Structure 1
Amino acid sequence: MARKVTLGVLAAVFTPLMASCVGAPATTYELQEPKECPIDESSYDGAVRIGYQVIPGSALFLRDQGLVESCFPHANVSWVRFATGQDVVQGFASGSIDVGIAGSPPAANALSSPIDLDLKVIRTNDITDSGEALVARDATSIEELAGENIVTAANSTAHYSLLKALEAAGITDAEITFLSPEALLSAWTAGDVDAAFMWGPTLSHMQQEGNTLTTAGEVAEETGAATHLFTLATSELVDNSDIHAVWNELEDHALDVWNEDSERFVQATSVQAGLDAELTRELIEGKKHLYQKEAEDMAEEIRSNLFETAEFLDQQGIADVKEQDHYDEAVIG
Structure 2
Amino acid sequence: MGKSSKKKSFIFFIAIFALLTACSSNNTSTNKNAETENHSNAGVEEKGKTLRLGYINSTGNKDKDKPAVSGAEGWALNKGFLQEELKKIGITNIEYFSFPNGPNLNEAMASGEIDVGILGDTPALLARSSGQKTRLIGFANIFQDIWLVTNKKNGVSSLEELKGKTVATSNGSYMLRYLTGLLEENNLLEDVKIVHLLPPEAAAALERGDIQAYAFPTYMGPKHVKLGFPLLHQASKTTPHLTGTSVTIASEKFLEQNPEFLSVWTDTRERAVKDLKEHQEEFYQYVAEVIKQDLDVVKESLPLNNIREENFPKEGLELLEGTKKFLVKQGLIKKDFAIKDWMLKDQ
* Interval of TM-score (by shorter of Structure 1 and Structure 2): 0.7 to 0.9
The yes-or-no answer on 1:135 pairing with 2:149 is yes
Secondary structure at the counterpart of residue 16 of structure 2: coil
1:120 shift after superposition? 1.2
Aligned to 1:18: 33
Could you tell me which of 132, 153, 167 is aligned with 1:150? Answer: 167
CA distance in 2: counterparts of 1:264 and 1:232, whole angstroms: 27
Please name the residue that 1:265 is paired with.
Answer: 283
Give the residue type in structure 2 aligned to 1:316.
Answer: Q
Which amino acid in structure 1 is aligned with residue 192 of structure 2?
A
Match of 1:117 among 128, 132, 138: 132
Provide the rounded CA distance (Å) in 2 between the counterparts of 1:323 and 1:11. 17
- Following the alignment from structure 1 to structure 2, what is the Cα–Cα distance between the partners of residues 30 and 274? 20
The Cα of 1:216 is off from its aligned counterpart by: 2.6
Are 2:315 and 1:329 aligned?
Answer: no
Indicate the residue corresponding to 1:231 in structure 2.
248
CA distance in 2 between partners of 1:250 and 1:236 (Å): 21
Q: How is 1:185-224 mapped onto 2 (pairs within 5 angstroms)?
A: 185-208=203-226, 209-218=228-237, 220-221=239-240, 224=241
Q: Distance in 2 between matches of 1:47 and 1:31?
A: 10
Q: What is the match of residue 79 of structure 1?
A: 96
What is the rounded CA distance, in whole Å, between the counterparts of 1:262 and 1:32 in structure 2?
A: 27
Alignment CA distance shift 1:162-1:306 (3 Å): same
1:102 aligns with 2:119: yes
Provide the secondary structure at the position in 2 that maps to 1:200.
Answer: coil
Q: Please say if 1:277 is aligned against 2:305.
A: no
Alignment length (residue pairs): 300
Deviations 1:65-120 (A, max 9, x none): 4443332123132111111122221221121111000111111101113xx11111
Does residue 58 (structure 1) correspond to residue 72 (structure 2)? The answer is: yes
Give the corresponding residue for 1:251: 269
How far off its partner does 1:279 sit? 2.6
Relative to structure 1, the CA distance from residue 219 to residue 286 in structure 2 (aligned partners, 3 Å threshold; closer, same or farther) is farther
Residues 261-270 or 58-67, more deviating: 58-67
Which residue is 1:47 aligned to? 50
- List gaps (5 residues or longer) in structure 1: 1-7, 20-25, 36-44
- Residue identity opposite 1:91 in structure 2: A
Query: Does the residue aligned with 1:72 lie in a helix, a strand or coil?
Result: helix
Q: 1:275 to 1:319 in 2, by over 3 A?
A: same
CA gap of 1:159–1:133, structure 2 versus 1, over 3 A, is same
**Which amino acid in structure 2 is aligned with residue 328 of structure 1?**
K
In structure 1, give the amino acid aligned to 2:113.
S
- Could you list the per-position Cα deviations for residues 262-303 of structure 1 after superposition, in whole angstroms to 9, with x for gaps in the alignment? 1211222223212233333332228722111xx5451xx644
Match of 1:92, as an amino acid? M
* Consecutive unaligned residues in structure 2, runs of 5 or more: 1-9, 22-30, 58-68
C-alpha contact (below 8 Å) 1:31/1:65 kept by paired residues? no
Give how far 1:190 is off.
4.6
Match of 1:176 in 2: 194
**What is the Cα deviation at residue 225 of structure 1?**
4.2
1:311 Cα deviation after fit: 3.6
Q: Distance in 1 between matches of 2:313 and 2:321?
A: 18
* Rounded Cα–Cα distance in structure 2 between residues aligned with 1:286 and 1:302: 14
Q: Is the 8 A contact 2:122 2:173 kept in 1?
A: yes
CA–CA distance in structure 2, aligned partners of residues 186 and 30 of structure 1:
32
Identity %: 23
| SS of equivalent to 1:135 | strand
Report the TM-score, using the length of structure 2 for normalisation. Answer: 0.75
Check 1:165–1:216 CA distance in 2 against 1; reply closer, same or farther (3 A cut): same
Q: TM-score, normalised by structure 1?
A: 0.78
Cα deviation 1:141-175 (Å, max 9, x = unaligned): 21221121111111111110111111111112110
When residues 117 and 95 of structure 1 are mapped into structure 2, their CA distance, relative to the original with a 3 A threshold, is: same
| 3-state secondary structure, aligned to 1:123 | strand
8 Å CA contact retained: 1:152, 1:179: yes
Bigger Cα displacement from structure 2, 71-80 vs 277-286: 277-286
The CA RMSD over aligned residues, in Å, is 3.1
> What does residue 60 of structure 2 align with?
none
Q: Measure the CA separation in 1 of the matches of 2:251 and 2:297.
A: 33
- Whole-angstrom distance in 2 between the partners of 1:287 and 1:316: 31
Correspondence 1:70 to 2:73: no
